[in-house]
Chain A
C-alpha cells in the first residue's frame, strides 16, 4: 500500500477535514444544548423565586421594602433552629412546598439578616449557606455550587433567599447526548471517509487506466491506446494528447523498423550474387576467363553494397542532425551549371539534350550538398528519360526563394507513386535489384538535405508527359 499515493493523500486530507468538521459541529451542538438547558433551568429558578418571594414574606408585620412594596419579607420566625428542620416550620411554613407551589426538584432556603435560617426545604443540600457575595438590593445572582445551580436573592430588608436545583439530571442527559453525538459523529466520519475513498477511486480510475496503459506501452506494446471515450473531461483531453504522442512514437518506431528491414534486404541481392557466383564457380574447375567473370560480378556486388552502406550512413547522419551544413552564400545557377557538365556525357550517350535557363539565384547553404541534390535530380532525369529525349534545367529567384526546376521528357510517374517518391527505398518501377547502382535512397537523401537547409522539394508528373522536380532554397 503506497501511502504517498494521491489517493491516500486525498483520503488523509478528506478524513482530517471531515473529523474536524464533525467534531466542531458536535462540540458546537453540545455546548449550545448545554447552554440552552442551563438557561431554561435558570428561567425555572427565576419563576420559582418569583413564586417564593411573596410566600416567604412574614404575613402582617414586617418592614416593607418600600411604600409600594406589598410583597415585603415577613420578619423571620423566632429562632428555633437546631440543625433539624421540622416538618412544620414556625410561621406556618411547610418545608417541601410553599403554599401551592410545587417545588418538586427545586429546593430553597432563606436567612434572616442576622444569618439565621428562616426556612429551608427538606430537599436542600446540607451545609447550604447564603451567598456571601450577594449584596443588598441585588435582585438575583446565579451560582453553581458543586452539582447544584442556585439563584440567590437579597431582599432589601436584609433577608436572603436561595432557590436551587440539582444539575445531576441535566449532566446525565448531556452525558447521554454526548455519547450519542460521538456515535453519530463517528458514523458520519466512517461513512464520509468511505464515500470519499470511493469518490477518490472513481476520480482516479481513469488515471490508473492511463498509467496501466502507459506501463504496457513502456513494456513495448506500442499498439496499445488509452481509452479516451470521455473527450470532454480533463482526463479525456490528457488521454487524447497521450494517444497522439503514442501514435507518433509507434509510427516512428514502425518507420525505423521498416527502414532497418528495407536496408537489410537491400543487402540481400548483392549478397546472393556473391554467394551464388562463388558457389557455382567453385563447383568444379573453371577456365581463367570464367574465374575472372565471377570475380567481376562479385566486385560489382561489393561496390553496390558499399554505395548502399554509404547512403545509409549519410541518411543516418542527416537524421541525427550530425551532418554539419556549411552556411555560405553561393549562386545556385553556378552550382547547377557544374552539375550539368558532369552528367552531360551520360546524356550524350543516349542523345538526350539538356537545355539551360539559368538566372543568377543567390542562396545560403552548403554548396556541395546542394550540388549533390542537383546531380541526383539530373542523373534521375537522364536515367528515366527516353533516348533522344530532353531535359530542361532552370534556376531563378522567386518569392523569397531560389528555385531550381528540372524537367524531363521521360515516361512520367504514375499518380499512385508520387506521394511515396521521397520515401526511403521506394522505387516506382517495382525493381528492388538494379545493377545501375540505384539504391532507392537518392531522393530520400536529397529531400533530407533540402529540408536541412530549410527548403522544400516537390515533384509534378503526368504519365507520358515527363516529370518536373522543383527545389526551393532560402534566398541569400
Chain B
C-alpha cells in the first residue's frame, strides 16, 4: 500500500509519515498543494492524506482537480470543523474527513476504511482458501495459525488479496509497495514473492509470465 501525505506543517507531516511507515505503508510526502497534486496525478496511490489549509493550492482545489482524473481515496485533514466545511469537503469528493487535532489510531483506522471501500470490501477479513488476511490487525492466519511475515511481505499479500483474481503487474506492485525513498532493486520484488511462497505454500501466489502476479 502506498500513501501520499500532503501537509505543509512539516513536524506534523514527518510524524504522519513515520506512523504510516510503522504500519507498513510505503509513504510519499508533499509540502504544498501543487506538489501534492503533481504527485497524486502521476502515481497511483492507494490513498492520499490531504491537508486543507496550504499555501499555493489548498486542499479543496487539489481534490477538485484530482477528481477530474482519478478515483484515488482521499482523506481530508483540517483544522476546520464547522459543519459546512465538512459538507464542502465530502461534497467536493473527499472520501473521509478528519479534524485536527486527531487521534492517530483513529486516523489509521479511517485510512484503512477508505482503502477497503475503494477495493469494494466490507470487512477487514479477506479469506483466500485456508489463508485469512486481517487488514486491521495486519496479520495472516494459515489454517488457523498465525504466520510471521515482514511488513513488506504482508503488504504484498494484502495488495494481491485486495485485487484477488486480477493479474497485478510488477510495475504496479513496485508502485504500491515502495515509496520514493526506497532504493529500487529490480529483484527485490522477486525476493519478497519467494519468501511469501515459502511461508504460505508455493501455489499461494501464481506467476503469469510476462504479465505479473496473482492470487486466485
Give the interface of A toward B (CB within 8 A).
261, 265-266, 268-269, 271-277, 279-281, 283-284, 293-294, 297, 300-301, 429-435
Contact = CB atoms under 8 A, between A and B. Distances in A.
Contact of B55 (A274, A279, A281, A429): A429
Contacts of A283: 19, 22
Given A283-B19, A297-B11, A431-B8, A275 B104 contact: yes
B101 interface: yes
A433 B103 CA distance: 19
B199 interface: no
A275 B101 contact: yes
Given A433-B8, A435-B9, A276 B79 contact: no
Nearest to A432: B53
Given A265-B81, A269-B100, A276 B53 contact: no
A276 B15 contact: yes
A277 B53 contact: no
Contacts, number: 87
Contact of A276 (B8, B12, B55, B58): B12
14 contacts: A265-B81, A268-B101, A271-B101, A273-B12, A277-B11, A280-B16, A280-B104, A297-B11, A297-B15, A300-B11, A431-B8, A431-B54, A433-B12, A433-B53
A301 B11 contact: yes
Interface string B32-59: 0000000000000000000101111010
A273 B80 contact: no
A-side binding surface: helix, strand, loop or mixed?
A: helix
Interface residues of B, number: 28
Contacts of A273: 9, 11-12, 15
What 8 A-B pairs come out closest when comparing CB atoms? Answer: A280-B19, A272-B101, A432-B53, A297-B11, A279-B104, A272-B100, A433-B9, A268-B79
Contacts of B80: 265
B102 A430 contact: no
Contacts of B51: 433
Q: Name the residue in A272, A283, A284 with the highest tally of chain B Cβ atoms < 10 Å from its Cβ.
A: A272
B88 interface: no
Contacts of A271: 100-101
Nearest to B105: A279
Contacts of A275: 101-104
Interface string B147-181: 00000000000000000000000000000000000
B22 A276 contact: no
B131 to A, nearest CB: 27
